[in-house]
Chains A and B, each alone.
Chain A
């Protein structure tokens, strides 16, 4: 088995890689009914003036913090275009390459217990 990993070149800046982010939540997200999550609304993300991230999901408010990851993640995808048979003469294994699609250097970590929002307050007119 042999794979090569390369950076995914961006047309505008060939040596740079897009940076993505992670919203890190304790536990898992659920919907009330077992429906697929695709397209669904998750929540509102706010930042305080002191850059504290606040996430409001459903009836919960979560306070978190910005974390500069000690070890960034590389998002690795199989490079479909490389999956062609190599040298037929040597009968080598086909080598598949992976591409680094993005780097993740920061995440929003929400590990405090979510606080419930009491939503029975009548809407202001």
Chain B
């Protein structure tokens, strides 16, 4: 027969205290008698260990979601962060008590009295959160299933792959909204008719060339590209969303407003809200380097530099620093060569990334390797930290170089 939870008397309690050799004066007057609840249930809920950011998010009433597919691990996302959810099992027994007075909550004076407290569950496990980065490689793969080549091509054989909206991407690529948006920006993805697409390189080349040609014809390189006019002119060839996207990727908005050229004050007053963009020299030069190197294998460096300079729009200056993270140069062979080696095509996993880098080149200087690992840094681990963990430093010709810690597979 179960105990009546009100039956425990002060006499019983004090007897036990006496046996335990404790004086009434040692303890506070309130004694909490702990019982298992009649409905003791160890399955009805889960314990989730909270990170500061998650607790704050929940308290502010903002959205916290759990996402995952059957084959993936589940992740927890706030608007801005992603966490892996891992189950932890412990050998301790955690008695869950909804009502328990602790420490200072218990009066230290007054007559002796009892309180009942019920244990509703005994738990041996909980779920912990580990911050992680969203799987951007997955996003890239999804978007590459159907790359955009222009409106006319949408129905053809090469464009039968799946197309995704933002909602789809959130659910498949486990990550927070803000992180997915950032990744889409990094991948230079464009929203076309509500669906997120990446432009195939040839198509992008077409669009960019048209924009540059228009700039050269209208002297927009010095005065800035008037967005509306550009959209109007090229809107017959390409969707406006695409033109605006390409301008956004390869030009910077001019804050003070452009059109500073030969502006006749008697003409219509300049619209205050007209947007002007100036092409980014670095980004345009990078694009043309990519264009030249992409399908070329190893290119003679001297020749490349000549071709590159001739390809970029007049007035723009090329510089090797623009090629960081895009191409590798081998100065040890005769003649010196350069080849296309973009960081976006490298593995996302840190160990695999270093393995690939060391497979490509045995020893790297800090300047050479940094552009290829910068995207892996976190708030806690910077480039130096990554190198300390995954590489071995040594000296070569007076310069510090990094090589693999273990045999390269």
Contact = CB atoms under 8 A, between A and B. Distances in A.
> Among the interface residues A43, A54, A73, which one has the most CB atoms of the partner chain B within 10 A?
A73
A117 B16 contact: yes
A117 B28 contact: no
Contacts of A26: 91-93
A7 B46 CA distance: 14
A53 to B, nearest CB: 8
Nearest to B123: A22
Given A24-B92, A24-B94, A102-B98, A40 B58 contact: no
B38 interface: yes
B119 A121 contact: no
A9 to B, nearest CB: 9
B17 to A, nearest CB: 8
Contact of B104 (A23, A51, A76): A51
Interface residues of A, number: 63
Interface majority SS (helix, strand, loop, mixed), chain A: strand
A56 B102 contact: no
Contacts of A108: 100, 102
Nearest to A93: B171
B35 interface: yes
B80 interface: no
Interface in B1-60: 2-3, 5, 8, 13, 15-20, 22, 26-28, 30-40, 44-51, 55, 58-59
A3 B59 CA distance: 18
Nearest to B48: A74
Contacts of A21: 97-98, 100, 102
B103 interface: yes
A103 B45 CA distance: 12
Given A3-B66, A38-B39, A117-B16, A76 B48 contact: yes
A1 B3 CA distance: 44
A39 B36 contact: yes
Contacts of A106: 102
Nearest to A59: B19
Contacts of B22: 46, 54, 61
A2 B50 contact: no
B34 A45 contact: yes
Interface residues of B, number: 69
Contact of A1 (B5, B27, B70, B95): B70
B94 to A, nearest CB: 5
A71 B8 contact: no
A25 B157 CA distance: 65
B151 interface: no
A69 to B, nearest CB: 9
Contacts of A48: 26-28
A76 B97 CA distance: 15
B291 to A, nearest CB: 41
A125 interface: no
Nearest to A123: B15
Interface string A1-33: 111111100000001011011111111110000
Interface in A42-64: 42-49, 51, 53-56, 61
A17 B56 CA distance: 12
A124 interface: yes
Interface in A104-125: 104, 106-108, 117-119, 121, 123-124
Interface of A: 1-7, 15, 17-18, 20-29, 36-49, 51, 53-56, 61, 66, 71-77, 98, 100-104, 106-108, 117-119, 121, 123-124
Given A20-B100, A27-B91, 6 more contacts: A15-B59, A36-B40, A49-B28, A51-B106, A66-B103, A74-B50
Across the A-B interface, the 3 shortest Cβ-Cβ residue pairs: A39-B2, A21-B100, A51-B103
